[in-house]
Amino acid sequence: LTVKSTIDIGLQKKAEEVVEGQLREVGQELNISQAAVVIMEPDGAVRAIVGGRDYGSSQFNRATDAKRQPGSSFKPYVYLSALVYGNYNPRSVVSDQPVCIGEWCPKNYGGRYSGRVNLTDAIARSLNSIPVQLAQQIGRERVAKFAQMFGLPLPDKPDWPFVIGAVEVRVIDQAVGYAAFANGGYKVEAMPIE
C-alpha cells in the first residue's frame, strides 16, 4: 500500500519558518505565543499545515482544533449571500451609516462612516455597518446557511455579530470555505492524502 500526502515539504518548511519568524518578531508585543496556518489548493488538497509553534511544547493543533473568531475574513460570505439572495451586484450602492439591532451597534474601525459606497468598495474597506444591513435585508439565517454550504459549521440562527466575524470557526474550516471562492463555488473537503 502506498499512501501519498498532499503536503508540499518545501511549502510546509516555509510555513513553519514564517510562523516562527512572526512569533519571534511580534509575538511578545501582541501577547501571542502560538499561531496556525493552513495552505490549501482550490480542490481541497492541503499543501501545508502548522498547528502551533512547537509540537514538543504543545500538541494541541490550532489549525484543526482551535476555534477563533475570523473577524472581517467572514464578510465575503455575507456579501456573496447578498449577491445571490438579494437584488445586489458589486456596483450596488448602500449607505455606510450607524446601525443598531437591539443593544448591539457595531461601528467601523476608527468610528467613522463613509456614506454612500458600492459593495466593492465596502468589502475592500472592510466596513462593518454594510454587512449588517445586508444581513438584515436578506436574513441572517440565509447568511448562516450560505456559510454552512461553504463548509463553516455554524448554528442555523447565530447571534447577529456573526455577520462581521464574531463567531468561532477553525482555521481549516475557513480555508475550506475560501477554497470554494477560488474554484468557482464548488465546496471541497480538506484532503491531506491523495
CA separation for the pair 127, 131 (Å, rounded): 8
Residues 40 and 175 sit within 8 Å (Cβ to Cβ): yes
pLDDT of residue 56: 87
Collapsing DSSP states into helix, strand and coil, what is residue 28? Answer: helix
pLDDT of residue 174: 96
Cell of residue 69, nine digits: 473568531
127: exposed, middle or buried (C-beta count within 10 Å: 0-12, 13-18, 19+)?
buried
Nearest Cα neighbor of 48 from 95, 92, 7 is 7
CA separation for the pair 34, 53 (Å, rounded): 5
Cell of residue 120, nine digits: 466593492
pLDDT of residue 57: 86
The pTM assigned to this predicted structure is: 0.91
Q: What is the mean pLDDT of each run of 10 residues along the chain (194 residues)?
A: 96 97 96 96 97 91 96 96 94 97 94 96 97 96 94 92 96 96 93 94
pLDDT of residue 93: 97
Contacts of residue 63, defined as CB under 8 A and 6 or more positions apart, other chains included, come to: 36, 37, 38, 49, 50, 51, 170, 171, 172
CA separation for the pair 69, 97 (Å, rounded): 24
pLDDT of residue 55: 87
What's the gap between Cα 91 and its chain centre?
A: 23
pLDDT of residue 37: 97
